[in-house]
Structure 1
Amino acid sequence: RLRAVGSPLGLLSPLVTDRLGHLPSDALRPSDLDALLVTERIFGPLGAAVQASVFITLATHPGLRAEADRLDAADAALDDTVDPHDPRVEELAAQHCAHHEALLHAIEAAGLDVAEAKLFETYDAEASGEEDPRMSAFEAVTKMPYGFSAARTRCMELTARLL
Structure 2
Amino acid sequence: MRPSFMPPRQVRIGDAAAFVGSTPRAIRHYHQIGLLPEPERGGDGRRRYEYEDMIRLLWIRRMADAGIALDGIRDAFTTGTASAGADSGEGIAGILERLEETLAEQEARLRRQRTAVRRMRTEGSRMGLLSDFVTERLKSLPEGSLRQADLDTLLVTERIFGPLGAAAQATRFIALATHPALREDSDRVDEAEEALDDSVAVDDPRVVRTAAERHAFETALQAVIEESGLDEADDALFDAWDALHPEGGEAGSMSAFEAIGKMPYDFSPARLRCMELAEELSAQDSPVA
TM-score of the pair, normalised by structure 1 = 0.92
| Cα drift, residue 52 of structure 1 | 0.6
From 110, 121, 136, give the equivalent of 1:18: 136
Identical positions, percent: 55
Structure 1: gaps spanning 5 or more residues: none
Partner of 1:112: 230
Q: Which runs of structure 2 are paired with 1:10-159 in the superposition (5 Å)?
A: 10-129=128-247, 132=250, 133-159=252-278
- The 4+ residue runs of structure 1 with deviation greater than 6 A are none
Larger RCO of the pair (alpha carbons < 8 Å, separation 6+) = 1
Change (3 A) 1:6 1:116: closer
Q: Kindly provide the amino acid, as one letter, of the partner of residue 104 in structure 1.
A: Q
Change (3 A) 1:119 1:130: closer
**Matched residues in 2 for 1:131 and 1:120: separation?**
12
Q: Which moved more, 1:135-144 or 1:9-18?
A: 135-144
Q: Kindly provide the amino acid, as one letter, of the partner of residue 200 in structure 2.
A: V
- Choose 1 or 2 for highest CA Rg: 2
Q: Deviations over 1:68-111 (max 9, x none)?
A: 11111111111122111112111111111111111111111111
| Contact kept? 1:42, 1:134, Cα under 8 Å | no
**Matched residues in 2 for 1:52 and 1:88: separation?**
29
Q: Deviations over 1:120-149 (max 9, x none)?
A: 122223334266322222322222222321
| Contact kept? 2:207, 2:274, Cα under 8 Å | yes
TM-score of the pair, normalised by structure 2 = 0.53
| Cα drift, residue 58 of structure 1 | 0.5
Q: Which has the higher helix share?
A: 1
